[in-house]
């Protein structure tokens, strides 16, 4: 499994979960509703704890101690009753953390359950240069003013960004900024508070996975624990020609051989089959839909990138990889001497334990194109488990 570098000591987290969450149409505040198998709040808190944030403090609504404790059972999280506004809750949380003098703090909205570790790392790294950092995404849709229900003047979207959480700050600076904020007005987020205090805010790449759950449709059937089976299975198959002068890549490992596989990318037939198996398990199409073979940006590309993309989609669908099983079909080269290196590389890209990765090989007894050494084929099976 790929190793993550630990966060700097003194990195605290404050999760804001004190709102009523009424627009989501759930019987309890949306942050405590079940989503993809567990309470919404638990998803991001688990990610923050796993990243090494300590302490982790959560602001909750008044009277919600029991439901919050149940939702976060077993996690090292402290609970604090929040205020009447989000800003009041953040201020109360920062004051509660002040006695422990953290160096950095991540302030996160509980309604954004999927929190990729890469976003956390980018935020904390940016604090080496600026007192604050926020994750943002470009605006891809056209924008215009609403002129009484008619289209008004267009807006230049190239200069605009969508702002997400968590937002990261050097702790002393954001605490002072909240203390200095005039009480009569409410800021949109903590970055606004910091910017008003003259603090520089770095923009780092966000992630579409940080989608905020807001409306009933966000808790639709596709997210229900009842609507999908706990285990799903996908299969994949691919074949490529062998040609002289090409490099031979199998399972992300380069193998010395008289011939290599021909294709638009590096033609790693084993990875291509595995990508299709993972995409099939979550109903996300096939490799050609995600990486069109005629697209010049994928010319000669490493197939590792395709596999990492498929693994990320598995996670975003609310699943984890259960196991993968690959069979490489060829007369030559011999796969046995490279099997362990192949398993290790696949496990690294997928970010799973090597024990759930199987690589096998067989021949077709010299029958057909693979038997005539005209090409190499691969078939794969992948299971994903709902989390």
Give the pLDDT confidence of 184-209 residue by residue, as tens digits.
677 789 999 999 999 999 999 999 98
- The Cα–Cα gap between 277 and 371 comes to 24
Is 22's pLDDT higher than 50? no
- The Cα–Cα gap between 210 and 64 comes to 25
Q: What is the pLDDT of residues 219-274, one digit of tens each?
A: 654 444 444 567 999 999 999 999 998 889 999 999 999 898 888 888 899 999 99
Confidence class for position 23, pLDDT limits 50, 70, 90: very low
Check residues 29 and 368 and name the one with the higher pLDDT.
368
Question: Is the CB of residue 326 less than 8 Å from the CB of residue 274?
Answer: yes
- The Cα–Cα gap between 51 and 281 comes to 28
Among candidate residues 34, 37, 3, the one with its CA nearest the CA of residue 319 = 37
Q: List, in sequence order, every beta strand (DSSP E) within the chain.
A: 11-16, 34-35, 38-39, 56-60, 77-81, 104-109, 132-138, 143-147, 150-155, 161-163, 167-170, 201-205, 231-244, 248-250, 253-255, 259-261, 319-329, 357-362, 375-386
Q: What is the overall mean pLDDT for the chain?
A: 88
Q: Which CATH number fits domain 11-223: 3.40.50.150, 3.40.50.2300, 3.30.70.380, 3.90.550.10?
A: 3.90.550.10
Q: What is the pLDDT of residues 335-373, one digit of tens each?
A: 999 999 999 999 999 999 999 999 999 999 999 999 999
What is the CATH topology of the domain spanning 231-386? 60s Ribosomal Protein L30; Chain: A; (3.30.1330)
Q: What is the pLDDT of residues 179-189, one digit of tens each?
A: 998 866 777 89
Confidence class for position 14, pLDDT limits 50, 70, 90: very high
Would you state the pLDDT for residue 221?
44
Query: Among all chains, which residue has been given the structure tokens 């010049």?
Result: 296
pTM given for the model = 0.58
Q: What is the pLDDT of residues 216-226, one digit of tens each?
A: 666 654 444 44
Is 112's pLDDT higher than 90? yes
> Domain spans of the chain?
11-223, 231-386
The tokens for 98 are 């002040």
Q: What is the pLDDT of residues 147-182, one digit of tens each?
A: 989 999 998 999 899 999 999 999 999 999 999 988
Cβ atoms within 10 Å, residue 126: 19
């Amino acid at each position: 499994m790929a190793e993550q570098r630990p966060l700097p000591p003194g990195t605290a987290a404050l999760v804001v979960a004190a709102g009523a969450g009424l627009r989501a149409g759930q019987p309890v505040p949306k942050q405590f509703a079940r989503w993809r198998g567990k309470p919404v709040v638990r998803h991001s808190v688990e990610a923050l704890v796993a990243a090494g944030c300590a302490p982790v403090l959560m602001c909750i609504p008044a009277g919600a101690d029991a439901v919050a404790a149940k939702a976060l059972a077993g996690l090292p999280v402290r609970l604090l009753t929040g205020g009447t506004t989000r800003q009041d809750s953040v201020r109360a949380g920062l004051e509660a953390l002040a006695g422990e003098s953290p160096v950095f703090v991540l302030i996160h909205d509980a309604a954004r359950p999927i929190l990729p570790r890469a976003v956390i790392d980018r935020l904390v790294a940016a604090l080496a240069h600026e007192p604050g950092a926020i994750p943002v995404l470009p605006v891809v849709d056209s924008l215009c003013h609403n002129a009484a229900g008619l289209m008004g003047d267009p807006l230049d979207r190239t200069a605009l960004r969508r702002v997400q959480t968590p937002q990261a700050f050097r702790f002393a600076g954001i605490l002072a900024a909240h203390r200095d904020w005039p009480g009569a007005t409410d800021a949109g987020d903590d970055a606004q508070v910091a910017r008003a205090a003259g603090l520089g805010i770095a923009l780092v790449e966000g992630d579409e996975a940080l989608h905020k759950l807001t409306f009933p449709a966000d808790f639709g059937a596709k997210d229900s624990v009842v609507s999908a089976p706990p285990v799903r299975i996908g299969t994949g198959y691919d074949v490529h020609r062998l040609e002289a002068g090409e490099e031979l890549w199998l399972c992300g490992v380069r193998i010395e051989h008289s011939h290599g596989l021909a294709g638009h990318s590096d033609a790693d037939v084993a990875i291509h089959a595995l990508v299709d198996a993972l995409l099939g398990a979550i109903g996300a199409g096939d490799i050609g839909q995600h990486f069109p073979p005629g697209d010049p940006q994928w010319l000669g590309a490493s197939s590792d990138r395709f596999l990492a993309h498929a693994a990320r989609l598995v996670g975003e669908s609310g699943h984890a990889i259960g196991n993968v099983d690959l069979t490489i079909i060829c007369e030559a080269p011999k796969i046995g001497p490279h099997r362990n290196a192949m398993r290790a590389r696949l496990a690294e890209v997928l970010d799973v334990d090597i024990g759930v990765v199987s690589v096998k090989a067989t021949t077709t007894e010299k029958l057909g194109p693979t038997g005539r050494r005209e090409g190499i084929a691969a078939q794969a099976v992948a299971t994903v488990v709902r989390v």
